[in-house]
Amino acid sequence: MTEVSATVADDVSNNATETTGAQAMPVAPRNTGTLAGFTIPRLGMGTMALAIEGRPESRDQAIETIHAALDAGVRYLDTAWSYYLPSKPGTGEPEDMGYGEYLVRDALNSWDGPKDDVLVATKTGWLRTLDNHGHYGWQADARPKTMIANAKESCQRLGVDALDLFYSHCNDPQVPYEDQMGALKELVDAGVAKAVGISRVGNEEIALAREILGDRLVAVQNQFSPVYRDPDGTMDTCERLGLAFVCWSPLGGFLDPFNEHCFDRFREVAAHHGCSHQRVTLAWELARYPRLFTIPSARNPQEIGDSFQAAALDLGTEEIDYLNGVA
């Protein structure tokens, strides 16, 4: 979180970021980019796995995991208004709401590195649900009044006057997308968010958002991994429009089962490099597009320490072709 001006100009820089955290690892210059005014490593961290089902029982472990990420050199933390768990059937009880955002705030406040260099992104438009059988779910609520209220709550929870980057989490089918984008526009114009993004969208929504938001829109957060390779070509659209593409569930995610064979080639290449296939996967993603950011989750310091080393991993052209499935 930082005091940067509200500029949303997103130029890709070839200069490696100064990562001043304790044991910051080297980042290849090509793996640095600019997003919402921050020039940072393009490998950030998603904090969903620290805040929803399967989260570490120990809150201290979650904080240590975020500290390990920051110490390694991560400068983008991704959270959401909806990263919490309802404790009773329904959409939530106040005691757990904001769990994920408070975690990010507390981790930053207790970290002794350069906090102002860290981009914190959050999202609006979804609630968590718990049914009578104990199953958690998600429920869209992107009415403009909800989005505006959520943004102000997120500022309070994160302890900031304005959000660095505020995403619409999803397109709520009950609300015209124009109205959802209108709420984001209002939030930037009122100074509540410095820049905005959209998530879980197709090309039509990107075009509409761009029309309404103009330069306020800096990022599209969509699913991308060896399991889900962006069949609609939204990454190409982002490239054409000069928008950042932020990969969600870049390692396949943990909420839904997937076909493990999608990682077979990644395991082979990883064996050659003597590293984890997760690290190869993240390096392959970073190589696709100079404005691509990837935000793997982790539940312990070792995982994020391993993942962040992807920012220094060089994959050859032949390896990338092989992983793309064209070899």
Per CB under 6 A, residues contacting ligand NAP are 46-49, 78, 169, 199-200, 221, 248-254, 276, 278, 295-299, 303, 306-307
Tokens at 180, concatenated: 């959802």
Give the phi and the psi of residue 35 in degrees, each rounded to 5: -140, 125
Residue 127: beta bridge partners?
Answer: 139
Provide, rounded to whole angstroms, the least separation between the CB of residue 59 and ligand NAP. Answer: 16
Provide, rounded to whole angstroms, the least separation between the CB of residue 101 and ligand NAP. Answer: 12
Provide, rounded to whole angstroms, the least separation between the CB of residue 254 and ligand NAP. Answer: 4
Of 180 and 278, which has the nearer Cβ to ligand NAP?
A: 278
Give the phi and the psi of residue 222 in degrees, each rounded to 5: -125, 160
Provide, rounded to whole angstroms, the least separation between the CB of residue 197 and ligand NAP. Answer: 9
Of 49 and 62, which has the nearer Cβ to ligand NAP?
A: 49
Of 13 and 302, which has the nearer Cβ to ligand NAP?
A: 302
| Rounded Cα gap, residues 45 and 102, in angstroms | 16
Of 86 and 250, which has the nearer Cβ to ligand NAP?
A: 250
Provide, rounded to whole angstroms, the least separation between the CB of residue 53 and ligand NAP. Answer: 11
Token match 């990969």: residue? 247
Provide, rounded to whole angstroms, the least separation between the CB of residue 192 and ligand NAP. Answer: 20
Of 221 and 234, which has the nearer Cβ to ligand NAP?
A: 221
Of 1 and 295, which has the nearer Cβ to ligand NAP?
A: 295
Which residues, at least 6 apart from 253, have a Cβ–Cβ distance to it below 8 Å?
223, 225, 227
Of 4, 93, 82, 92, the closest CA to residue 47 belongs to 82
| Rounded Cα gap, residues 203 and 214, in angstroms | 15
Residue 198: beta bridge partners?
Answer: 168, 220
Specify whether the CB–CB gap between 158 and 120 falls below 8 A: yes
Of 53 and 112, which has the nearer Cβ to ligand NAP?
A: 53
Specify whether the CB–CB gap between 70 and 42 falls below 8 A: no
Name the residue number minimizing CB distance to ligand NAP. 46
Provide, rounded to whole angstroms, the least separation between the CB of residue 181 and ligand NAP. Answer: 16
Bin 80: left if φ > 0, else alpha if -120 < ψ < 50, else beta.
Answer: beta
Of 6 and 300, which has the nearer Cβ to ligand NAP?
A: 300
Provide, rounded to whole angstroms, the least separation between the CB of residue 299 and ligand NAP. Answer: 4
| Rounded Cα gap, residues 23 and 10, in angstroms | 28
**Pairing label, strands 136-140, 126-130:** antiparallel
Q: Which helix (H) or strand (E) holds 121?
A: strand 119-124
